[in-house]
Amino acid sequence: MRIRLAVNGRAQDLEVASHALLLDVLRDVLDLKGAKRSCDTQVCGACTVLVDGLAVSACTYLAVEADGRSVLTVEGLADGESLDPLQRAFLDAGAVQCGFCTSGMLLTARALLRENGAPTRDDVLHYLRGSLCRCTGYRKIVDAVLTAAETAR
């Protein structure tokens, strides 16, 4: 099936199988390796990308559903060399360790901040309920999201 979509602002015209998963199309066809396959069951969030601004589990989302839509991956967060406030905040806070959860965390946080520019800590915890990290213990991640929200305001 033919799909036409925007990925990180760039138009893409692709032929994909109806059973192709968005995660595999992004990683293997478009060479955008930032989204990761981990639990493969929508629990961990490592595969999170934004479709029309909404966080989805790319591991369980048909590529054909992205037809006519815009997809944002971690590779699209920075504006050239200029990092998104979330990326900057994650780096400054020490919220990155192995990095495998990082792209999912960043995109989920991005969706949160677009929806709510002044989240409370509880709002952040609610949004990140489906984003697992085994390295950081989450504290610096939550702090980074709150810092980025402040910076953006």
Partner 1 sequence: MSARPLRVVGHPAPRVDGLEKVTGRARYVTDLVLPGMAHAKVLRSPYAHARVTRVDVARARVRPGVFTALSSADLTWCEPYFGPAFRDRPVLAIDVARHEGEPVAAVAAVDEATATEALELIDVDYEPLPSAITLEEALGPGAPLVHTGEPLSGHFADLSTLRPQPGTNVCHRFHFERGDTVTALAGADLVVEDTYRFPPVQHVALEPHAVLAAWDETGALTLWASTQNPYSVRVELAKMFGLPLARIRVIVPHLGGGFGSKTYAKLEPLAAALARAAGRPVRLAASVPEAFQTVRRCAARVGTRVGFRRDGTLVAVECAADYDVGAYADIGPRVVQKATYTATGPYRVPHVKLDARAVYTNTTPGGAFRGFGVPQLAWALESLFDVAADRLDRDPVDLRRQNFLAHGEEFAPGDTPIDGKLEESLGRAAEAIGWTRAGAADRGRGVAAMLKASVAPSVSEAIVRLHTDGSVSVLASAVEMGQGTRTVLAQIAAEVLSVPLARVTVVQPDTAVTPYDQTTSSSRSTAMTGRAVQVAAEDVREQLVRVVAEALGVAARDLALEDGAVVAPARRLTYAEVLVLRFGMSGGELIGRGVIAPGRTAAPLGGSTPFWEMAVGAAEVSVDEETGAVRVERYVSVADVGRAINPLLLEGQDEGGVVQGLGHTLLEEMLYADGHLLNGTLLAYRVPRADDAPPALECRFVENADGSGPFGAKGAGEGSLIPVSPAVANALARLTGVRFRDLPLTPERVWRALRARGR
Partner 2 sequence: MLRPFTLHRPDTSEEACALLARLGEDAAVYAGGTELLLLMKLGLLRPRHLVDVKRIRPFDGITDGTHLAIGATVTHRTVERSALVRARCPLVASVARHVANVRVRNVGTVGGNLAFADPHSDLATLFLTLDASVELVSPRGRRELSLADFVRGPWETAREPDELLASVRLVPWPPGTAAAYVKFGVHERPTLGVSVALRLDGTDGDSEGRGGGARVADARVAIGCVNPRPARVPAAEARLTGVAVTELEDVTGAAAEAASADTDPADDLYGSADYKREMVAVFVRRALRIAAARARGAEPAARFPHAVVA
Q: State the residues that interact with partner 2 by CB under 8 A.
A: 1, 17-21, 24, 40-43, 45, 48, 54-57, 60-62, 64, 108, 111, 127, 129-131
Binding mask 112-141 for partner 1 (x = CB under 8 A): ------------xx--xx-xxxxxxxxxxx
Q: How far apart, in Å, are the Cα atoms of 75 and each of 5, 54, 101, 102?
A: 16, 16, 14, 12
**Greatest CA separation for the chain:** 43
In the complex with partner 1, the residue whose CB is nearer, 4 or 134, is 134
Among 85, 63, 94, 76, which Cα is nearest to 151's? 85
CB 71 within 8 A of CB 9: no
**In degrees, to the nearest 5, what angle opens at C-alpha 118 toward C-alphas 115 and 122?**
90
Of 23, 50, 64, 95, the one binding partner 1 (CB under 8 A) is 95
Of 25, 27, 71, 72, the one binding partner 1 (CB under 8 A) is 27
Distance, in Å, from the CA atom of 21 to the CA atom of 116, rounded to the nearest integer, reads 29
Could you tell me the smallest distance in angstroms from the CB atom of residue 45 to partner 2?
7
1 touches, from partner 2, partner 1, none (C-beta below 5 to 8 Å by class):
partner 2
Could you tell me the smallest distance in angstroms from the CB atom of residue 71 to partner 2?
13
Among 66, 137, 61, 72, which Cα is nearest to 109's? 72
Instruction: Please give the residue ranges that form the binding site for partner 1 (CB under 8 A).
Output: 27, 32-41, 43-44, 46, 73-75, 77-78, 83, 87, 90-92, 94-103, 106, 124-125, 128-129, 131-142
